[in-house]
Amino acid sequence: MRIVAALGGNALLRRGEALSAANQANNVRLAALSLAPLIEAGHELVITHGNGPQVGLLALQAAAGPADGDQPLDVLDAQSEGMIGYLIEREMRNLLGPARRVATLLTQVRVDPRDPAFGHPTKPIGPVHDDAGAARLSARGFAVARDGKGWRRVVASPAPAEILVAPIVADLVDAGALVICAGGGGIPVVRDEAGHLQGIEAVIDKDLASGLLARSLRADLLMMLTDVEAVMLDWGRPEARAITEAAPRALAALDFAAGSMGPKVAAAVVFAEGGKGRAVIGRLQDAGALVAGTAGTGIREGAPGITCRTPS
């Protein structure tokens, strides 16, 4: 089976954890332990990952430095993609042995400069701030939005239009390589009037980019790994229920948070429509069961509407 596995930023850095190198390396090691058995079982695997906490931290560090040392978001996206990709590749090589081919690709993703997302930032990045911290961010011209009891910086998250390295990823997978790419949704670029690529200030949603990549690769399964067991109805309420299976159209009719579960559901629906593949959303530690269809929320054509159960 050809699988695109999208690691959520919160699967790599758990909620409330310090943004330390040690914490990130340890969580990447745990992620590798969940994913390596899929390779050993004979599946073809492409790994993508989020970068929200990491790119936000890099932006804060750049802003705190010399006045001429600030960096645009596309460059920070590239830095975070390289950093996280290196950690994932290192741990997968350690687990799979030197004979396994592993490649990490910096991934430029073309977006439309006229995308309305540029006027309506929704993608949370960086750490959670209290009211005073949010006021400081606002004073520096950053957009902020509520995240639980705190605040986070939010940035534009345009829809991915083209994964520029998709043909190269396909060649590597066909050759038996494990590929890590489209980290943080990829590096956002636009084409100017001369057809040249230029970076643009944004963070592409990694689930939407992963869905586009999965369609480009004709993957059998799009697996979005996070820190919750399934997509929930009535999330945060006593009557909350886990969706175990859903038809794409039935799931698309429901509303989910724009900055978190919403893009996962949107990516799953688009990928599963037409019956060319199955999508699944669930916990990283359940990766094997998600592939087997015994955990998480499975989205496929032919499913009988929405099926739920009480979450564990």
185 and 238 together in one domain: yes
Closest of 12, 42, 29 to residue 291, by C-alpha: 42
What percent of the chain lies above the pLDDT cut of 70?
97
More confident residue, 53 or 130: 130
What is the biggest distance separating any 2 CA atoms in the chain, rounded to whole angstroms? Answer: 58
Residue 104 pLDDT greater than 70, yes or no: yes
Q: For 22-48, how does the pLDDT look when each residue is reduced to its tens digit (9 = 90+)?
A: 888 899 999 999 999 999 999 999 999
Residue 312 pLDDT greater than 70, yes or no: no
58 and 139 together in one domain: no
State how many domains the chain has.
2
As a whole number of angstroms, the distance between CA 203 and CA 201 comes to 7
How large is the average pLDDT for residues 143-147?
Answer: 89
48 and 144 together in one domain: no
100 and 173 together in one domain: yes
How large is the average pLDDT for residues 51-55?
Answer: 84
Q: For 241-297, how does the pLDDT look when each residue is reduced to its tens digit (9 = 90+)?
A: 999 999 999 999 998 877 678 889 999 999 999 888 999 999 999 999 999 999 999
For the record, the structure tokens of 135 come out as 């006021």
Residue 182 pLDDT greater than 80, yes or no: yes
Supply the residues annotated as catalytic: 9-10, 123, 206, 264
As a whole number of angstroms, the distance between CA 236 and CA 124 comes to 20
How large is the average pLDDT for residues 300-309?
Answer: 91
135 and 168 together in one domain: no
Phi-psi label, residue 196: left if phi above 0, alpha if psi -120 to 50, beta otherwise: beta
Confirm if 247 and 304 have CB atoms less than 8 A apart.
Answer: yes
Confirm if 154 and 203 have CB atoms less than 8 A apart.
Answer: no
212 and 235 together in one domain: yes
Closest of 254, 280, 260, 252 to residue 206, by C-alpha: 260
As a whole number of angstroms, the distance between CA 312 and CA 310 comes to 7
pLDDT value of position 10? 61
pLDDT value of position 9? 66
Cα dihedral sign for 129, 131, 136, 141? positive
175 and 104 together in one domain: yes
pTM assigned to the model: 0.91
285 and 303 together in one domain: yes
As a whole number of angstroms, the distance between CA 259 and CA 242 comes to 19
83 and 104 together in one domain: yes
Distances (CA, A) of 159 to 25, 41, 181, 210, 267: 29, 33, 17, 11, 11
Kindly give the pairing relationship between strand 144-147 and strand 150-155: antiparallel
144 and 15 together in one domain: no
Kindly give the pairing relationship between strand 108-111 and strand 44-49: unpaired
As a whole number of angstroms, the distance between CA 126 and CA 144 comes to 11
Is residue 133 packed enough to be buried (19+ CB in 10 Å), middle (13-18) or exposed (0-12)?
middle
As a whole number of angstroms, the distance between CA 69 and CA 166 comes to 32
CATH number at residue 208: 3.40.1160.10
- The residue range of the domain holding 31 is 2-113+158-308
Residue 113 pLDDT greater than 90, yes or no: yes
pLDDT value of position 121? 92
More confident residue, 70 or 213: 213
Confidence of residue 179 (pLDDT cuts 50, 70, 90): very high
Average pLDDT along the chain: 91
As a whole number of angstroms, the distance between CA 85 and CA 180 comes to 6
How large is the average pLDDT for residues 194-222?
Answer: 95
Residue 311 pLDDT greater than 80, yes or no: no
How large is the average pLDDT for residues 121-148?
Answer: 87
288 and 139 together in one domain: no
CA 44 to chain centre: 19
- Note the residue count of the chain: 312
32 and 131 together in one domain: no
pLDDT value of position 128? 86
pLDDT value of position 259? 62
What would the 3-class secondary structure string for 20-67 be?
Answer: CHHHHHHHHHHHHHHHHHHHHCCCEEEEEECCHHHHHHHHHHHHHCCH
